[in-house]
Amino acid sequence: MKNVLNLRILLALVVSLTIVSCSRNSSKNTSRATGWKINDKNGGFQYNDQFQEQETAPGLVFVEGGTFTMGKVQDDVMHDWNNSPNQQHIQSFYIDESEVTNLMYLQYLDWLKSVYPPEEENFRLIYEGALPDTLVWRNRLGYAEMMTENYLRHPGYGEYPVVGVSWIQAVEFASWRTDRYNELSLEGAGYIERDAKLTPTADSNFNTDTYINAPSLTYGGNDSIINPEKSRRRAQTNAAGDTINQYARRESGLISPDYRLPTEAEWEYAALGMSELRSFNVYRGRKKYPWDGQYTRSGKRKTKGDQLANFKQGKGDYGGIAGWSDDGADITAQVMSYEPNAYGIYDMAGNVAEWVYDVYRPIVDDEFNDFNYVRGNVYYKNAINEDGTVKVITPDEIVYDTLSNGRIVARNLPGEIAQVRIDENETYLRPNFSKSDNRNFRDGDTRSSRLYAESFDEDANDGKSATRDMYNSPRHNVEKDSLGNLIKEYDTSNQRTSLINDEARVYKGGSWRDRAYWIDPAQRRYFPQDMATDYIGFRCAMSRVGSKSQGAKKRN
């Protein structure tokens, strides 16, 4: 009798829990705004209400955001006040665990070569514009032909950081990486035909923005690739028999934020790895390098005396005396050769310096903004055809730019949506921005220039002349004649006082060519965005959507 009673009680509990569970699921699938069903199989509003957390994309590690003091250099032997300490708050984000390697970049080049064959004249400059400049290794008083010929492509250097890449090329790589990752994600969810990614052409390839804004035009409008009836997803129809949910949208949670270059503030925050010094809501002490301590050699018993990064130790000393005390490299080193910092990120000091997103200015304007700081925003919008549809670039509409060094790069690629700068339709009466180009805001525009008193017409020069006059940088010019030949004009004036302009980008981290002074994460330098060197590489970052933290918080 007692057993029967216990069984009845257990059955009642199971039934009650099932009712509660069903009730919760029912309420979750019902809009609290209207009471309508969400994700009704007959149609209506569709939304991924099962989304838990952003998946960590390939190659990335998570960095939980927070507050830190940016620009707190431990040494300032230059006395240039280039990075005055200022407090910033960073949102959580992801960043590559290592620099982008030759192997990773070669995959990008291989994709470009197969989709836009360089033997076709219309596409030749696409591939050539993406090629790293291998001649950066040459030195007028040094032998470097081995690196010039082998560093990029030889398997012996496959896991070494790619160099000879300009800031512009790094940005294009990040954009390509975004498309390839999202294409794989949508294929895995059944929205795209399996292995369609392996046979792309100039007329038929995947672009994330095009898929979001005009999915039927993806793959050149090839319906067989994205038709749910021909893919692995079961086509959904509403009561009227119309197909619904044929394409994934932002609401699906399947489309990832973009790979991009990290901002200067993000890079510095990630490099410092301050989490190991955190105690409740304060940082215990300061850090000079990505590792704890004030020295560049390990103090641990098992690795005592080993160098913790790849950098130039002194004049004529790029690695030390051969043997156990050597840092293991004379030029770049294989990525992940040294211990990671507290976030699990490798090579944030030494090896190669790294491009970040920001346009360079001597000051960080924390008086105007101290949240996710960045200088370099230029706002664009999708170009619209006369019929109201977005304008997708065709192979005959590729636009090329001639850079200041004479190199030619593609501004857009087939399959992408054409972009135009925002206009008064987006800026009218907005309190947060008033124009498309904000690179010189409060430092280089007319209002901040010493020439402001002479000219109150801020829009007369669109800010460009004011920037050059304020910083007085060289004015080289490259043009094409009627035959397509490049005419290069060099500014030989002796009156120029600066190299700063709107195309100068920040790079961080020190390199194999630099002394220990430069591997302090707070140090900053700049270089033209369209030029490359043998000591600057890059890594990608990605914004975090949703919660600030991963998992439950723990006290340290």
Looking at CATH, the fold of the domain delimited by 54-184+254-376+507-550 is given as: paralog of FGE (formylglycine-generating enzyme) (3.90.1580)
Give the containing element (helix H, strand E) for 366: none
Cα angle 31, 37, 42; round to 5 = 150
Q: Which of 191, 221, 223 is nearest to 203 (CA)?
A: 221
Q: Residue 454: exposed, middle, or buried by beta-carbon count in 10 A (0-12, 13-18, 19+)?
A: exposed
Q: What DSSP letter does each residue of 405-438 carry, written as one string?
A: TS-EEES--TTSBPEEE--HHHHTT-SS--SSB-
For CA atoms 12, 15, 21, 24, the dihedral sign is negative
- DSSP H helical segments within 59-155, as ranges? 102-115, 124-130, 145-150
What would the 3-class secondary structure string for 132-146 be? CCHHHHCECCECCHH
Q: Which of 91, 95, 92, 94 is nearest to 371 (CA)?
A: 91
Q: How far apart are CA 88 and CA 370, in angstroms?
A: 5
Q: Token pair for residue 68?
A: 């830190």
CB 239, CB 44: distance < 8 Å? no
Q: How far apart are CA 176 and CA 111, in angstroms?
A: 9
Q: What's the one-letter identity of residue 51? A: F
Strand 86-90 versus strand 66-70 pairing type: antiparallel
3-class secondary-structure state, position 62: strand
Q: Which residue has the tokens 């950066």?
A: 136
Q: Which of 273, 250, 324 is nearest to 68 (CA)?
A: 273
CB 218, CB 204: distance < 8 Å? no
CB 80, CB 500: distance < 8 Å? no
Integer angstrom CA distances of residue 420 from 49, 94, 163, 377, 391: 35, 29, 31, 14, 11
pLDDT at 472: 85
Strand 400-402 versus strand 541-543 pairing type: unpaired
Count the Cβ atoms, other than its own, within 10 Å of residue 371. Answer: 11
pLDDT at 478: 82
CB 223, CB 196: distance < 8 Å? no
Q: Residue 497: exposed, middle, or buried by beta-carbon count in 10 A (0-12, 13-18, 19+)?
A: exposed
Q: Token pair for residue 504?
A: 């100068």
Q: How far apart are CA 458 and CA 79, in angstroms?
A: 34
Per-residue pLDDT of the chain (556 residues; tens, 9 = 90+): 556 556 666 666 655 555 544 444 445 688 889 999 888 877 778 888 888 899 999 999 999 999 999 988 877 766 666 778 899 999 999 999 999 999 999 999 999 999 999 999 999 999 999 999 999 999 999 999 999 999 999 999 999 999 999 999 999 999 999 999 999 999 998 899 888 999 999 999 999 999 999 999 999 998 888 875 655 666 676 667 677 778 899 999 999 999 999 999 999 999 998 765 555 555 555 678 888 777 787 777 777 767 878 899 889 989 888 876 788 899 999 999 999 999 999 999 999 999 999 999 998 999 999 999 999 999 999 999 999 999 999 999 999 988 888 889 999 999 999 999 999 999 999 999 999 999 999 998 888 876 666 655 555 555 456 777 788 888 888 887 777 777 888 888 888 888 899 999 999 999 999 999 899 999 999 999 999 999 999 999 999 999 999 876 655 5
Q: How far apart are CA 213 and CA 18, in angstroms?
A: 41
Query: Which residues, 6+ apart, have CB-to-CB distance to 189 below 8 Å?
Result: 233, 248, 252, 254
Q: Beta partners for 480?
A: 486
Spell 509-524 as b/e; 16+ CB within 10 A means b: bbbbbbebebbbbbbb
Q: Beta partners for 243?
A: 237
Q: How far apart are CA 36 and CA 43, in angstroms?
A: 11
pLDDT at 463: 47
Q: What are phi and psi of 541, to 5 degrees?
A: -130, 170
Integer angstrom CA distances of residue 9 from 1, 2, 15, 21: 13, 11, 10, 18
3-class secondary-structure state, position 480: strand
Strand 525-528 versus strand 400-402 pairing type: unpaired
Q: Which of 371, 464, 5, 555 is nearest to 13 (CA)?
A: 5
Write down how long the chain is: 556
Helices 102-115 and 167-188 cross at an angle (nearest 10°) of 80
Q: How many CA atoms lie within 13 A of 240 on its CB side?
A: 5
pLDDT at 239: 66
Q: Token pair for residue 189?
A: 């969810």
CB 260, CB 208: distance < 8 Å? no
What is the location of CATH 3.90.1580.10 in the chain?
54-184+254-376+507-550
Q: Beta partners for 473?
A: none
